[in-house]
Copies of this chain bind each other. A is one copy, B any other.
Amino acid sequence: MNKRNVLQAIRASGQVFKAEIARSTGLSIPTVMKITDELIARGLVKETGKGESSGGKPPQLLEFVQDRHYVVGVDIGTTNILCILMDMSANIVYKHSVPTMVDDSPDVIIDRIAASIDTVIAQSEVEQECLLGIGLGMPGLLDKETGTVLFSPDFHWERIELLSALKARYAMPMVVHNVTHSMAMAQKWFGYGRDDVNSFICVNLGHGIGSALFLDGELFSGGSGSAGELGHMTMEKDGPICVCGNPGCLEALASGDAIARRARAEISVLEDAIIRKKADEGRLEAKDVFEAAGRQNDAAQRIIGDAAEYIGLALAKVINLLDPEMIVLEGGLSRAGSSFITAIHDNAQRYQMKYAGRNTRIVVSELAEQSAAIGSATFLIKRLFDVGGDQTLL
């Protein structure tokens, strides 16, 4: 407990003297010295220069070691499996991406994830004892205790033992979290959440739509761990059937997949040669529709505009209900251009209640494609600082 507090004090300060640590933690100087010696021996903290002497020996500055320990993060996306190895400051040392091929069986996909992890560990040439562990990010509802994927509509998985299947292969700690929870954790440690933003929502606008709630300084999972299923809010009771089985979910109306699906359905209205060619080849995606909209295609602009309206409307619901300090947009659609983001903003404002969410800022994540992989890895760094967390290193 004291060790974690000291480590946190050092990490939070950048560079700090032992006397300051004693002051901020309330521990005695001898206790702080004993702990910092141990942290130095374990390679978590280093001495990094001296301060001004006030007569005697000049005091030693301490710093959290960024590049002695590493973590693996895996973003199990519907298109690609992105696997990274990063240091304690989220600097990415090695990165590997492989198509997920989501229609393959769970066993095959799990083998693919393992192969990706193996590649990254081998290629990065980081020593085994410097690896803190592997963090996975997976879309859908998970049982956090067992690491079972209870229901992932995007993968068509139900009750798949993801974590236990992989744990057997690696002699290091391994955790799995919902991919949007990973994104929120990345924001809290390395993104917008750093700056004293204590209540924010991460909204992942990708092939599907998900969200994670970070409320009063903690990830909020709810009573059964399913909080954040923004994508499956019913927006139109008589709308198109969603992959989850319900009608008119936000995901069925405004996700990347929904945009591509609607463009395919309206192919004759779109009258766009490129769109038609991609559709014929079976590889029409949301980004093609955004490109057509950029070419001033009216029908494409309407499809994009409707998606922005539904997303804005859903954000207005979130703002009315939760009044977050910030909404961080993540995922492919969040990078589809500023006019789309502006349209989302405008619609959120239009549908939110007067005076509600007066301080809510809607922003686009700066962690881009790496957000989920960084966040999945961050859970293992966080364990170092949690009471009852990592027992091997501390």
Residues of A bordering B, CB below 8 Å: 141, 150-151, 199, 211, 213, 215-216, 218, 220-230, 232-234, 237, 244-246, 249, 313, 316-318, 320-326, 351, 353-360
Contact check, B216 vs A323: say whether CB atoms are below 8 A apart.
no
Q: Which residues of B contact A354 (CB under 8 A)?
A: 151, 244-246
Cβ 8 A contact of A323, one of B150, B227, B318, B323: B227
Tell me whether A223 and B325 are in contact in the complex, defined as CB-CB below 8 angstroms, given that A313-B234, A353-B229 are known contacts.
yes
Q: Which residues of B contact A355 (CB under 8 A)?
A: 141, 150-151, 226
In the bound complex, how far is the Cα of B220 from the Cα of A139, in angstroms?
Answer: 27
In the bound complex, how far is the Cα of B88 from the Cα of A41, in angstroms?
Answer: 56
Q: Which residues of B contact A141 (CB under 8 A)?
A: 355-356
Tell me whether A357 and B223 are in contact in the complex, defined as CB-CB below 8 angstroms, given that A229-B321, A237-B313, A313-B234 are known contacts.
yes
Closest 7 CB pairs of A and B: A222-B323, A223-B325, A232-B353, A224-B358, A227-B323, A229-B320, A226-B356
Question: Which residue of A211, A213, A215 has the most chain B CB atoms within 10 A of its CB atom?
Answer: A215
Q: Which residues of B contact A225 (CB under 8 A)?
A: 323
Pairs A–B under 8 Å by Cβ, sample size 18: A151-B354, A215-B216, A220-B322, A223-B324, A223-B358, A224-B360, A225-B323, A226-B358, A227-B321, A227-B322, A228-B323, A229-B323, A230-B321, A233-B316, A233-B317, A233-B320, A245-B354, A249-B353
Cβ 8 A contact of A322, one of B213, B324, B353, B356: B213
Q: Which residues of B contact A318 (CB under 8 A)?
A: 321
In the bound complex, how far is the Cα of B224 from the Cα of A334, in angstroms?
Answer: 25
Minimum CB–CB distance from A310 to chain B (whole Å) comes to: 9
Minimum CB–CB distance from A142 to chain B (whole Å) comes to: 10
Q: Which residues of B contact A218 (CB under 8 A)?
A: 216
Contact check, B321 vs A224: say whether CB atoms are below 8 A apart.
no
Question: Which residue of A150, A199, A249, A356 has the most chain B CB atoms within 10 A of its CB atom?
Answer: A356
Cβ 8 A contact of A224, one of B211, B224, B227, B357: B357
Residue of B nearest to A324 (CB): B223
Minimum CB–CB distance from A208 to chain B (whole Å) comes to: 12
In the bound complex, how far is the Cα of B230 from the Cα of A357, in angstroms?
Answer: 13
In the bound complex, how far is the Cα of B224 from the Cα of A313, in angstroms?
Answer: 20
Q: Which residues of B contact A221 (CB under 8 A)?
A: 323
Q: Which residues of B contact A220 (CB under 8 A)?
A: 215-216, 322
Contact check, A222 vs B317: say whether CB atoms are below 8 A apart.
no
Q: Which residues of B contact A245 (CB under 8 A)?
A: 354
Minimum CB–CB distance from A362 to chain B (whole Å) comes to: 12
Contact check, A199 vs B216: say whether CB atoms are below 8 A apart.
no
Minimum CB–CB distance from A320 to chain B (whole Å) comes to: 4
